[in-house]
Structure 1
Amino acid sequence: QVKNNKNPDTDTYVLPKRSRYYQALLDIDLLQKGQPYDLLPPTFIIFICVFDFFEKGNYVYTFKKCCLENRKLELPDEATTMILNTKGTHGDISKDIKSFYDYVNNHIVTTDFTKQIDDEISYLKLDTKVRREFMLMEARLLDERREGKAEGIAEGEANANIATAKRLLSMGLNVQDIAKATSLSIDQVEALKAE
């Protein structure tokens, strides 16, 4: 994350809600329909920021859900969000992470770890096939999100029509009028009435 962006309409920073959105995207892909929730594996959302979002000087900010009434009580959902602050000044981090921060901030290679990162980045920049595949993957992900959003809207509308039809049935309206009002078929309204 290079900039600490704000939404111009609300004047609020986008990073916290972006983290929540990424968590939702990650979870939705990790669990298939009908699978039990306990199959969700532990997850980590990690932002590498070249600014200190919280302005406390920490190298790392780690978040898990806790109870407001008892801060020692943690919700064991195994979801963790970490904000890595490359401009941090205190906290315990490994030599490799410190060298990574130096690499991000100044593009300085100081360890074998950052040498490996630098070599990989150089390779990826030169490999047009990999760059093209990465761009295609981003485009596919965007298309999938759009399709998922459209499906969600359609499903929401269908559920709203069914709920409306049930209310109208309870009010004693006839099946034909309810079908017209809700865009449901007469058969669908008849099925709801039979329930």
Structure 2
Amino acid sequence: MERIKTFDELTIRDNFLFQHVMRNEQLCTHLIEKIVGIKVRSLHYQAFEKTVNLRLDGKSIRLDVYVEDEEGRVYDIEMQCTNSPRNDLAKRSRFYQSLIDGELLDKGKPYEELNPSYVIFICTFDPFHRNLPIYTFTHCCQEDNRVKLKDKETRMFLNSKGSENAADPEIAAFLRYVDGKAAKGKFVESLDQEVHLVKSMDKVRREYMILSDEIRRRQKEAAEEGMRQGMQQGIQKGRQEGRQEERESNIVAMLKEKIPMETISRITHYSLDQIQKLGKLHGIL
């Protein structure tokens, strides 16, 4: 059973705390501006309660931080602390993008008016092993990369291990902070102050305790269900082995009565070779 961190152990890397810190519009706006390289006048949080999920492992299908600016650009920011053995981060970003498009279309937008969107994964590992601080992907023609698809979709992956290659000092400081280093620089120091402020709130602590208790309950139920399934499989296997022993005992008995193996095979559906091996095993043949 996966160990759940205590509230005091949480850092910016943990989805629960990251979500709460990003509720500070000024910090969230500045982070987006630095990552994407654009000016954002103000943000509108889109149904923020959707980000409160009953899982803490970063694998949620819900969007962590989902905001829209005054220009209509949509941003989904996700903290990613683990990469699966299948290295499916790219497909996961594709799925998150589909969630955003589905959300926009559900609001009645025709597809030709879909908002510009940015899916931003903040990774505590190097997702593409090139030591870049940021990997940015947009669609372009494979035959001529000067031809852009212009679907207004952008996916970005930040690499906390690539801070030394970041041209922007604030991005470098942010990546170091995510990587567990000390907060240095005005923006990251403000971010760290917000972390401590959020962790000082009794309301947030109670919310995390309730969330943790629910996760433990679900883990316990899953473990109990696994045990029940295991017991059922064991019983079923035992029954199958018992039936097999009974059939083989009958075959041995028929061999002792000198019943032809061809007849035994028709009755039991055992092959002649199987019957012969049983006979030799019991010293009959």
TM range (shorter): 0.5 to 0.7
Query: Does the Cα contact within 8 Å between 1:60 and 1:91 map onto a contact in 2?
Result: no
Is 1:30 the counterpart of 2:109 in the alignment?
no
Pairs within 5 Å for 1:3-152: 3-6=82-85, 12-32=86-106, 34-88=108-162, 91-130=165-204, 132=207
Moved over 6 A (4+): none
SS at match of 1:100: helix
Deviations 1:117-176 (A, max 9, x none): 11111222232424629x88xx9xxxxxxxxxxxxxxxxxxxxxxxxxxxxxxxxxxxxx
Unmatched 5+ stretches in structure 1: 7-11, 140-195
Counterpart AA for 1:4: N
Query: Does the Cα contact within 8 Å between 2:163 and 2:172 map onto a contact in 1?
Result: no
Query: Does the Cα contact within 8 Å between 1:31 and 1:39 map onto a contact in 2?
Result: no
d(CA) in 2 for partners of 1:51, 1:87: 6
Deviations 1:33-62 (A, max 9, x none): 543223322111111112111111111110
RMSD over aligned CA atoms reads: 2.4
Q: Which has the larger radius of gyration?
A: 2
Residues 42, 128 of structure 1: alpha-carbon distance in 2 compared, 3 angstrom cutoff: farther
Deviation of 1:91 after TM superposition, in Å, equals 4.8
d(CA) in 1 for partners of 2:93, 2:137: 11
d(CA) in 2 for partners of 1:93, 1:44: 21
Deviation of 1:79 after TM superposition, in Å, equals 0.6
Counterpart AA for 1:53: P
Residues 21, 83 of structure 1: alpha-carbon distance in 2 compared, 3 angstrom cutoff: same
Deviations 1:7-32 (A, max 9, x none): xxxxx212111101111111111233
Residues 26, 111 of structure 1: alpha-carbon distance in 2 compared, 3 angstrom cutoff: same
Deviation of 1:103 after TM superposition, in Å, equals 0.9
Counterpart AA for 2:88: V
Deviation of 1:95 after TM superposition, in Å, equals 1.0
Pairs within 5 Å for 1:147-162: none
d(CA) in 2 for partners of 1:39, 1:128: 43
Residues 33, 41 of structure 1: alpha-carbon distance in 2 compared, 3 angstrom cutoff: closer
Deviations 1:50-89 (A, max 9, x none): 2111111111110011122222211111110001111116
How many residue pairs were aligned?
A: 131
Counterpart AA for 2:99: L
Query: Does the Cα contact within 8 Å between 1:46 and 1:81 map onto a contact in 2?
Result: yes
Pairs within 5 Å for 1:159-178: none
d(CA) in 2 for partners of 1:89, 1:33: 39
Is 1:2 the counterpart of 2:81 in the alignment?
yes
Counterpart AA for 2:140: C
Higher relative CO (CA 8 A, sep ≥ 6), structure 1 or 2?
A: 2
